[in-house]
Structure formats: structure tokens, C-alpha cells
Amino acid sequence: MGVSATAQPRVGLFVTCLVDFIRPTVGFAAVKLIEQAGCSVEVPRQACCGQPAFNSGDRATTREIAEQVIATFAPYDYVVAPSGSCAGMLKVHYPELFHGDPNWLPRAEAFAAKTHELISFLVDVRGVKRVDAAFAGSVTYHDSCSGLRELGVHAQPRALLASVRGLELAELRDADVCCGFGGTFCVKYPEISATIVGKKVANVAASGAGTLLAGDLGCLMNIAGKLQREGSQVRVRHVAEVLAGMADGASIGEKGEP
Amino acid sequence: MSEIVTSPAFKENARAALADVDLQQALKSVEVNFIAKRRASADKLPEFEALRDAARDIKDHTLAHLDLYLEAYEQRLTAAGGQIHYAVSAEEARAIILGICRKVDAKTVTKGKSMVGEEIAINAHLESHGITPVETDLGEYLIQIRGELPSHIIAPAVHLTKAQIEADFRRVHTHLPADRNLEEHTTLLAEARAVLRERFLAADVGITGANFLVAETGSSIIVTNEGNGDLSQTLPKIHIVLATIEKLVPTLEDASQILRVLARSATGQEMSVYTTISTGPRRPDDPDGPGEYHVVILDNGRSSMLGGDFQDMLRCIRCGACMNHCPVYHAVGGHAYGWVYPGPMGAVLTPSLIGVDKAGHLPNASTFCGRCEAVCPVRIPLPRMMRRWREREFERHLQPATMRYGLAVWAFLAKRPRLYALATSAAAFGLGWLGRAKGRFRSLPLAGGWTRHRDFPAPEQRTFQAQWRGRKRR
């Protein structure tokens, strides 16, 4: 790996609430990948990035949460999140929240500058070109919206997946189209959300791949849940699980130890 | 304002739309056709992204100096023999148009496609005063004979299948032989053309919209693919242009810059088939043209958007790219949005025009996937502005109480990471234990919106943070 061996940068892992609560395996995969990229990882006590409040129009609560997150992660060289959506919140939307605030805007901007989505951190910041992992089978990849359009995560996961021994990538039709999760959208407008994810799983099935990967647990839970409801055998995992060589256990929603 | 506002019933509208087999069939063409064509034409033009910047800058500049350009436009228009009318409200615009029609005792009025015409519901108003409006754009004609609103701002009848159109033609064109062949797209088109041609010749007044009003020359510009706009504005004795204040651009050069992104973003064409510039009434040596040329400039709430959170929305050039790329629009179509402007642009504009209390669902019915902003030719930050509307709703306590309470409980925990850790640890353990046999849930209390349509994964029984701290201690 193309990593300088001088001082190890300290990375504060922003776990994200869904990974913390639903699928800790993704967090451990992220830790492994960040460490392999020559960094030390710490996990300060944390809750949520504030997106539910932000997207519900509660700007005051969002700001309070943002101030807390920025302060919590002040000691670290980098903040890394295994989610394009949460990383987009931290990197793109936090500075917006403090627009015109001479006190907090510079702090929010400095925080944004050192914050990265996991896979783009590995590739773009740490210069990782390949991973040491194997995965037998074909996978397809869904580009989560925030990662793709707010952070430009597209080539990076494909580049690293190409280095996984035994893995075959079958491109997903309309990979860049939303899966219909949308945070609170999926519970506010469940029928519309279900229709959108229905199209997504049809494309997943058409890809012929045995496993669907993406970089955001919200999308993954949505797609996995729909595939399973339809009786599909396609498995669903966070891309970090495969890249870290931690994709042997149960997939999302599957019975057993992950 | 059009009386038919069903935006408050967005959820019910959406449910009906999802169950409408014909609509779902028709909507496939939006998803397939528009997107690939826009992509191909944008890819062919190396300067496309730079042109989007230029288009945005031209609109921003004009909006910053709207008063100046409006005055300049009025001067040039008047010098060319045109008459200008300012309407603050839809009601005023309707009265002005009716007054002009009455002066010449108009019986029929032909109309080019105009979303502002839909916004002020001009057809219903003219009809109620004994004047027959005839829509001459094929899509508008179709929805007129069906008594519907447009479901798309550039393809008003995109919600219809060919079979539905055939049935409507047989129902309405009863003067034609019942056994005629309407199987082909071409035979449908030929029939519409023949029916409309007579109407063009009979019309006393022609009403068109405007894609641009040009301050430098006092001209209005329309783009069409059918040439119907040209016939609507040159054949009758009077041409009325109905436009809103944000259609202004400083110069013809500016208009042509924006034209380079307009059709490409809309249909993927390099240019629309007809781009028609008109400046005032017929001059003495002109071979044809209207004797009177009126421009009705409508505000209808737009001037109050200037200088505020929603000013950027006034850059919109009505290409439809945002709805063409919207997964929610693809699912439910345009009518579900419940008023004239659907899709992401409607989700931002409609609350400005009819009030967020009526249109509150629209900015909420978005996944914030950001595809609309990614394709908008004038780079309107649509998701950000939908979020602004949600903020207004939150401030005014317009959201459902369950949502507000749920959010308050969540916020209480999210601001207290230690308490949050306790709560999530307990929940993860409980849910994880309950779901351990299957790995997922087919139904969960309080999560019916999710589990009605999909399974919910059982959490691992310990949160990441609990496991991490446990490992550190060891």
C-alpha cells in the first residue's frame, strides 16, 4: 500500500448510528481498512450526525448536534465514516449550518476538510491501490446518492474491488439511481419508497450477481429487506466487509453471526 | 390560481397513481427516453458544463437587476408598437386577457403551450365568459379534451398511453369516420393536425407563453417542436404573450446561450425544432403577423421570492430535467403533486405560489437523492431549497405531531451520547435477541411503514461502541 511510514495519522471513526446499532461488523471492517492504510483508529463516544433533524427542518437541534460532533472529533487528524450519507452531512452540510457565524464557521470548515467517506479516504487520501482480500463470487455495486453526488465516490470502490481475489464485478443497471431509502422518506412515504426499491431489486436480480454491495447501511438495509421480502437469494453487504476480508459470516438480515 | 389544488392529498394521489396501470406504463417512457437523450447530447458538447455555469450566471445577473431590465424591456417593447400589462395576481392577469379578447369580440382563442396559462387557469376563465380556448400543442390539446392538468412541464400528456389517446380521439372527433385507423403514432398525429388546422384559421386571438423576454430588443422568444406556437401567434389579429417576471434576459446573446442548454436538458435535442422571436405587432411591410401585440407580465408571488431563500428558483428555465431524473416523479407521475408544477421544481416553486400549508407534502416527498440538482441546467440547489421549506414547516409546526414527538425524543438522546449508548445498547440487545432465530423481522411494531414492504434486519446483539469499549478494556 502506498502509505508513508512517518507519524501515523490519528483517525477518529465516525461509526454512524446504523452501523453502531444494526451492523457493528461494518465498523470493525472500517477499523481494519483504516489501520491497514497506516493510521491509528480511535472511537470517541458519539451518537448521530444529526441528519434526521436536518432533513426534518429542525435546524436548531442540528446545530447543537453538529457543535458536539465537531468538538468531539477536534483531536483527530481525520474523521472517517463508513457512509456517504453521514460523511456528506459532516463534510458538506455542517459548514452550511454555520453560514455567517464567525465563531463556528471556521471550525466547521476545518472539520469538513479533514472528514472523509471511508472508501474515498482510503483511495484519495491514503493512496491505497489494492486490498489484501478474497471473495469468491460475483458482486454488483449500488452507488449511494450522497456518496456519489455530494462526495464523488464512484471510481474508488470499483478500483479496490478490482483488487479482491476471486471477485467479479457485474455492473448494476441504473446503479446511480436512488434506492428509495431517503432516511425518513421511507417511513413518511412507504408506498413510493417501496416502488422505488422494487425497481432497484429488479435491476439487482437482472445483474445476475450473488451479492449486492454499497457504501451506506441505510440503502443496504432497504435493498436487503426488499430482496428478502421477495424471497431473493442475493446477499447484501457493506463494501467495507468485502474489502476487509470480513465477508464470511451472515450477510445483512441473514441468520447467524455476521 | 388554478382552483384545482389537490396537493394536500399528495399521499392519496400517490397511492392512486401507483395503482394506475396505464400511468405506470406511460411513465416508463420518462425514465427511459429523456435521461439517455439528455446524457448523449450533453456528452457531445464539451462546453456543456461551462454553459450551465453561464446560464446560471445570466439568470442571477438578471434577477439582481430585474427592475432595470424590466424597464428597458418595456421601453423597447413599446417602441416596437407592443403593449405591456402588469398583473400582480392570477386574477388580474385573467381580467387583462379577457378584456383584450372582449375588445375584438373574440369567439375562439388559440393557445401555444404555456405553463403560466395553466397557473392562472386561463382556459376555464375564458370558457366561463363564452370564449373557446383551443390548445394547439398536441400534449396540451390532449389534456384539454380530457379536462386534466398537465402532468409534466414540457410533456403535458406524458402520463397517457397511446391506447388512451386513441380512445379520446374517437370520443371527441365524432365528425370523423368511426372505422378510421388510429393504430399508428402517425395517424394520431395526422388527425390532430387536421383538426387543429381549422382552429388556427378561425381564431381571433392567439395566446402564447414565453421562454424569454429580451430586454435589449423588447422581444419574446418561444421554443416549440410542433410549430403550433408560430401559427398561434401569427395568424390571429391579436397576439397575447403571457409571461412571468423571471423570463427576462438582458440580450439576445444571453438568450442564445441559455438556448444551448435548454433543449439539451429537456429532450436531448440540440435545439428545439422552432425558435421564434417576436417583437411587436405586424409592421407595414411585414407579409403577415398580428395587428396588436400584448405582453401580460405576471408576478403572482414571484417578486417576494427575490432576495429571499427561494430566489434561486427564479432561475428555472422550465426544461423538465429535474422531474425527468426524479425517482419519485418516475413512481407517481406529475398529477400526484396536485397542482400545475410537479417534480422537484414544483416541490420548491409550488409552496412559494400557493403556500406551504397547502403544498407541504411536496418538499417532503423527496429522497434528497440530488439527481435533480445534478442535471439542472441553471444549477438550482433543489434539495437544499426543499429542506428550506421543511424548515419553514417545522417553524410553523405544520408537520404531523407524531413526527414532531418522535424527532424530539430522538434529539434528546442524540444530544446525550452516554444516554444514547445506553438506550441503543438496550434496544440492540432486545431486538437482536428477538430476531436471532431468523436474522430479520417480517413485521415490527411502530415500523409498519418499513415492514409492510420489506424485512428489517435484526441487529447484532451488542452495538459497535459497546463492543469496541469491551475490546479496549480487555
The domain boundary, picked from A87, A104, A124, lies at A124
Q: Answer yes or no: do B395 and A57 touch at CB < 8 A.
A: yes
Q: What is the pLDDT of residue B473?
A: 64
> What is the C-alpha to C-alpha distance for residues B167 and B169, in angstroms, rounded to an integer?
5
Handedness of CA B180, B185, B189, B192 (dihedral sign): positive
Residue whose grid cell is 431524473: B325
The domain boundary, picked from A101, A124, A147, lies at A124
Q: Is A210 on the interface with B (CB under 8 A)?
A: no
- Does B1 have pLDDT greater than 80? no
Co-location of A57 and A80 in the same domain = yes
The CATH number of residue A230's host domain is 3.40.50.11810
Task: Tell me which chain A residues have a C-beta less than 8 angstroms from the C-beta of B424.
Answer: 17, 20-21
The domain boundary, picked from A73, A91, A124, lies at A124
Nearest CA in chain A to B414: A47
Residue whose grid cell is 429580451: B214
With CA atoms as reference, report the closest residue to A19 among B290, B196, B428: B428
N-terminal to C-terminal alpha carbon distance within chain A: 27
Nearest CA in chain B to A183: B367
Task: Tell me which chain A residues have a C-beta less than 8 angstroms from the C-beta of B457.
Answer: 22-23, 221, 224-225, 252-253
Contacts of B57 (CB under 8 A, 6+ apart): none
Domain membership of residue A1 (yes or no) is: no
Task: Tell me which chain B residues have a C-beta less than 8 angstroms from the C-beta of A256.
Answer: 439
> What is the C-alpha to C-alpha distance for residues B211 and B214, in angstroms, rounded to an integer?
10
Contacts of A118 (CB under 8 A, 6+ apart): A30, A33, A34, A80, A81, A82, A83, A87, A215, A240
Question: Distance, in angstroms, between A50 CA and closest chain B CA?
Answer: 8
- The tens digit of pLDDT for each residue in B171-184 reads 999 999 999 999 88
Contacts of B136 (CB under 8 A, 6+ apart): B110, B111, B112, B196, B199, B200, B226, B228, B229, B231, B232
Co-location of A20 and A120 in the same domain = yes
Q: What percent of chain B has pLDDT over 90?
A: 89
Co-location of A166 and A220 in the same domain = yes
- The tens digit of pLDDT for each residue in B196-207 reads 988 888 899 999
> What is the C-alpha to C-alpha distance for residues B214 and B256, in angstroms, rounded to an integer?
11
Q: What is the pLDDT of residue B3?
A: 59
Co-location of A98 and A168 in the same domain = no
Q: Does ipTM come in above 0.90? A: yes
The whole-number average pLDDT for the span B137-163 is: 95
Cα-based angle B389, B391, B396 (whole degrees, multiple of 5): 95
Amino acid at B49: E
Question: Distance, in angstroms, between B357 CA and closest chain A CA?
Answer: 15
Co-location of A204 and A136 in the same domain = yes
> What is the C-alpha to C-alpha distance for residues A131 and A244, in angstroms, rounded to an integer?
7
Domain membership of residue A230 (yes or no) is: yes
Give strand pairing partners of B133: B109
Domain membership of residue A99 (yes or no) is: yes
Nearest-CB residue to A195 (from B18, B373, B439): B18
The per-residue pLDDT of chain B, averaged, comes to 95
Q: Answer yes or no: do B415 and A65 touch at CB < 8 A.
A: yes
Co-location of A166 and A222 in the same domain = yes
- The tens digit of pLDDT for each residue in A72-94 reads 999 999 999 999 999 999 999 99
The CATH number of residue A31's host domain is 3.40.50
Task: Tell me which chain B residues have a C-beta less than 8 angstroms from the C-beta of A71.
Answer: none
Expressed as residue numbers, the domain containing A114 is 10-124
φ, ψ for residue A235, nearest 5 deg = -95, 155
Domain membership of residue A4 (yes or no) is: no
φ, ψ for residue B228, nearest 5 deg = -65, -30
B183, B189 Cβ separation under 8 angstroms: no
C-alpha to C-alpha distances, B324 to A176, A182, B154, B381, nearest whole angstrom: 14, 19, 10, 16
Nearest-CB residue to A15 (from B332, B438, B464): B464
Q: Is A226 on the interface with B (CB under 8 A)?
A: yes
Give strand pairing partners of B278: B220
The whole-number average pLDDT for the span B319-336 is: 98
Task: Tell me which chain A residues have a C-beta less than 8 angstroms from the C-beta of B427.
Answer: 21
B294, B85 Cβ separation under 8 angstroms: yes
Question: Distance, in angstroms, between B468 CA and closest chain A CA?
Answer: 8
Q: What percent of chain B has pLDDT over 70?
A: 99
Q: What is the pLDDT of residue A6?
A: 63
Q: Is A188 on the interface with B (CB under 8 A)?
A: yes
Co-location of A120 and A160 in the same domain = no
Domain membership of residue A2 (yes or no) is: no
Domain membership of residue A258 (yes or no) is: no
Co-location of A220 and A235 in the same domain = yes
Task: Tell me which chain B residues have a C-beta less than 8 angstroms from the C-beta of A197.
Answer: 453-454
Q: What is the pLDDT of residue B168?
A: 96
> What is the C-alpha to C-alpha distance for residues B73 and B84, in angstroms, rounded to an integer?
10
Say what the pTM is.
0.96
With CA atoms as reference, report the closest residue to A167 among A228, A234, A247, A250: A247
Taken in order of first residue, the domains within chain B and their CATH numbers are 7-304 (3.40.50.10420), 401-473 (no CATH)
Domain membership of residue A249 (yes or no) is: no
More confident residue, B437 or B472: B437
Domain membership of residue A167 (yes or no) is: yes
Q: Is A202 on the interface with B (CB under 8 A)?
A: no
Q: Looking at the 3D structure of chain A, how many domains does it have? A: 2
B432, B463 Cβ separation under 8 angstroms: no
C-alpha to C-alpha distances, B234 to A201, B114, B418, nearest whole angstrom: 52, 17, 73
Co-location of A19 and A66 in the same domain = yes
For residue B23, what is the enclosing H or E element? helix B21-29
Residue whose grid cell is 419553514: B392
Would you place residue B229 in the very low, low, confident or very high pLDDT band (cuts 50, 70, 90)?
confident
Task: Tell me which chain B residues have a C-beta less than 8 angstroms from the C-beta of A191.
Answer: 14-15, 18, 453
Co-location of A234 and A182 in the same domain = yes
φ, ψ for residue B250, nearest 5 deg = -65, -50
Nearest-CB residue to A196 (from B331, B463, B465): B331
Q: Which of residues 25-84 of A touch B (CB under 8 A)?
A: 25, 27-28, 43, 45-48, 50, 52-59, 61, 64-65, 68, 72
Q: In which residue ranges of chain A is pLDDT below 50?
A: 1-4
The whole-number average pLDDT for the span B335-355 is: 97
Amino acid at A236: V
Q: What is the pLDDT of residue A1?
A: 44
Co-location of A22 and A91 in the same domain = yes
Co-location of A205 and A228 in the same domain = yes
